[in-house]
Structure 1
């Protein structure tokens, strides 16, 4: 018997994934922007802001795609079919 997943649990999982993904991307942007700022650009602040903003935008885009993909549940169950000759 397959266990049923409640819709609120699925939604909560998507929210958690979105928050974690956005946080990781923002932290990576902060790190990369900080390295560029310290090494190449004489300690200017705009590379850090650009890196954090880019990370936030990427995380938001991924979350939006995850929430709007209505066939995500079906895609998990698809299997590759090999043609028989």
Structure 2
């Protein structure tokens, strides 16, 4: 079985597809949790639904950002050749 070369546009399309699916799933789960919490715990108020939907969307947005720019993670530092030579001590 020969593997076809993956073109950069196919890789980007796969990332966008994954992000779209991730946003839909996590926003839907957040909405569902908010509805259940609103009915059971908060006497049918609207704010739990809005809050948990926003949390789900925010988590999905952060995951997509991390997928497209993996070096922007917490605790990650990118060192270029110029800064590496400046930081050396003699």
Report the TM-score range of the alignment, normalised by the length of the smaller protein: 0.7 to 0.9
Structure 1 length as normaliser, TM-score?
Answer: 0.78
Structure 2 SS opposite 1:47: helix
Between 1 and 2, higher relative CO (CA 8 Å, sep ≥ 6) is seen in 1
Give runs of ≥4 in structure 1 deviating > 2 Å. none
2:8 maps to which residue?
A: 7
Aligned length: 70
Unaligned runs of 5+ in 2: 72-90
Structure 2 length as normaliser, TM-score?
Answer: 0.74
Unaligned runs of 5+ in 1: 71-85
For the aligned residue pairs, the C-alpha RMSD in angstroms reads 1.2
